[in-house]
Chains A and B, each alone.
Chain A
Amino acid sequence: MVSVDQRGPGAPPTPPEPLTRVFSDESVSEAVAQNDLEQIGVRPRLGTYFKELWASRSFIQVLAVSRAESENQNTYLGQIWSLISPIINASVYVLIFGFLLKIGREGIENTIAFIVVGVFMFRFFERSVMAGAHSLNKNMNLVRSVQFPRAVLPIAGVLAELTMLGPALLVMCVISYLSGFLPVAGKVTIDAYWLLLIPAVLLMWMFSTGCAFMVARWVAMTPDLDNLLPHFLRIMMYASGVIFSVDRYLGQFSWGWLMEYQPVAVYLYLVRSSILDEPAYQPDALMWLMGVIWAVLFGVIGFLIFWGGEERYGRD
């Protein structure tokens, strides 16, 4: 801070007076009409927005693939980590909840496959939501440099997770199948139902994208939510039966059915019913219906929520 010396020169030099001028509203609208100008910094109409988004699909694709590639780039093992991490993660849960606490064995024939499928699939959901939450904040430089529909960012973030999920799914299937040969575990057979894994994952992807849209807007507006998100996801993990049977533990309560039909539990059910041979997880039409309903509902509402804040992203 400059202290003004009494004996020094008088007032500090000032620039010329600011040009206080404003165009009148009528002349602006007239000029806009005459020169075919468009206002920017306003939210585009929903139809236009969707069209722009569709036009940027190759941008989304390149962004997602690049993001997936740059993940784990600074390690010696590189991409292999996206396979090793979930395996270690699942092993810990199998060890603790399956063999020490035995919670994962109640009503389940093949605990290993059950927990592995749960952990792998939930990890995808968890990482997608986090990718959505950070999609605007982490890419603020891109947002402030180039004009494009901002919905590109959450979509690309979740798509990157889906690309990384691909190889992980293969590992998941192999582990599940091999675990069937262990004496303590129930058999896992490869049958036509395995094909249902693809639509199940696609529905879950659509649902996760919807969730990513919502948290992307909320975290952009209120960054504090970012700190609550991991805790919320942890609760979701226990409420969705990732490592134990929801039916077995929560089914006894009057509100237990709520837990069974909440979206994440539904998608875990769909994947498990496709791959495993658990008697408690048989392919079920109602569950598939729920899966479609949740995916469409969250996809559409999430998109609308995100679009509602479009003109404000990048403000801070």
Chain B
Amino acid sequence: MTDVDEVDFEIDKDELDDTPVLEVPSDQLSLLVNDLHVSYRVFGAKKVGHGAGREWGVLDRLVRRGARQPPVREVKAVRGITFAAKHGEAIGIIGMNGSGKSTLLRAIAGLIPPAAGTVHVAGNPSLLGVNAVLMKDLTGERNIMIGALALGLTKKQVRERYQEIVDFAEIGDFVNLPMKTYSSGMGARLRFSISASAVPDILMIDEALATGDAAFRAKSKAKMDEVRQSAGTVFLVSHSLATIQSMCTRVLWVHEGRLVMDGDPKQVCVAYRDFVHARTAYKLAAAGKSPGGKKGAGKVTGKSATKR
């Protein structure tokens, strides 16, 4: 998620100072993120460029062993993001791999403490991620119990909704087998069903719709609509611009931990697509290939080949 190579380690503190200060739009807010910074401690990280890029002699390496590399590195994944979300909004988050989308989501959910800045949410912050990684040694049944209880349901509620969860996930008899025997699609569907078992104030979907067939995608969309109708807010991270455009009412474009665009889905998606195309063409040209790079960049869905 946070690829070390992708993150700029430079800290530009002075850049943060001359930022325009906005008034918060104050009607029907469900989420308020103000100047959010999130950083990770990374143990054993190497200095960028000191890896396989160059051949190092034995002596070189011995010399390099010195105190040049700190054993712990701080990776700044989110570097100052500010926005406010309203009830009933479906917000898509786009950006390249490693731009900090998932970290942003988790910080909003209160799962990763912010290094600076604040996050405020409405009412009871029962925020859900679909990445609820469950215990692979345990059966689906146990995982449903654990996951739903962790989300704040009572035992009685879990028993009532148990069948509903199993049906929604379409895993059938596999529910009695350990989760490590599941296919990735089954695992993702089960996680989504568990997350969706409690109708949350804020639902966050991280790449989940990529797994599962058309029927499941339709059901997921229905769930999203249900959350929005009960005055919740939905966040959707996806690399599929088509999905984003069809499901979201607003799109945030995150680049290197910063927000670069915020607005109408169509507008932002077009700008993002143009950027990715231009980038692909540039990289191909820089690598000395024929400049007709447009052909290879026809699709921006999935893990795009634009990374390095």
Contacts and interface: CB of A to CB of B under 8 A. Distances in A.
A311 interface: yes
A311 B119 CA distance: 13
A2 B282 CA distance: 10
Contacts of B42: 316
B285 interface: yes
Contacts of B21: 21-24
Contacts of A15: 253, 255, 260-261, 275
Contacts of A20: 15-16, 18-20, 80
Chain B interface residue number, banded: 35 or more
A39 interface: yes
Interface in B72-111: 80, 82, 84, 106-107, 109-111
Given A15-B253, A40-B125, A59 B24 contact: no
A314 interface: yes
Interface in B21-39: 21-26, 28-32, 34-35
Interface string A169-202: 0000000000000000000000000000000000
Interface in B264-286: 271, 275, 278-279, 281-283, 285-286
Contact of B82 (A23, A34, A41, A223): A23
A38 B123 contact: yes
A15 B150 CA distance: 39
A124 to B, nearest CB: 22
Interface string A15-40: 11111111110011011101111111
Contact of B32 (A31, A70, A314): A31
Interface string A288-312: 0000000000000000000000011
B142 interface: yes
A40 B110 contact: yes
B122 A37 contact: yes
Contact of B106 (A19, A66, A70, A144): A144
A250 B155 CA distance: 51
Nearest to A152: B150
A41 to B, nearest CB: 5
A34 B137 CA distance: 46
A315 B113 contact: yes
Contacts of B35: 22-23
A238 interface: no
B49 interface: yes
Interface stretch (B55-63, B126-134, B164-172): B126-134
Contacts of B16: 20
Contacts of A147: 109-111, 125-127
| Prevailing SS type, chain B contact patch | mixed
B13 to A, nearest CB: 13
B123 A36 contact: yes
Contacts of B292: none
A24 B114 CA distance: 18
A146 B43 CA distance: 24
A1 to B, nearest CB: 6
B149 A16 contact: no
B239 to A, nearest CB: 16
A12 B42 CA distance: 29
B291 to A, nearest CB: 8
B262 A19 contact: yes
B154 interface: yes
Contacts of B15: 20
A58 interface: yes
B110 A41 contact: yes
B222 interface: no
Given A31-B32, A31-B84, A62 B145 contact: yes
A22 to B, nearest CB: 5
Nearest to B274: A13
A38 B120 contact: yes
| Most chain A CB neighbours (cut-off 10 Å) among B113, B260, B261, B287 | B113
B120 A66 contact: no
| Most chain A CB neighbours (cut-off 10 Å) among B111, B114, B123, B138 | B111
Contact of A35 (B28, B113, B281, B308): B28
Q: Which 6 A-B pairs have the closest CB atoms?
A: A141-B133, A316-B41, A40-B110, A18-B258, A13-B278, A37-B120
10 contacts: A1-B308, A20-B19, A22-B19, A38-B120, A41-B114, A66-B138, A70-B138, A144-B111, A146-B129, A147-B127
Interface of B: 15-16, 18-26, 28-32, 34-35, 40-43, 49, 53, 80, 82, 84, 106-107, 109-114, 118-123, 125-129, 131-135, 137-138, 142, 145-147, 149-152, 154-155, 178, 253, 255, 258-262, 271, 275, 278-279, 281-283, 285-288, 291, 308
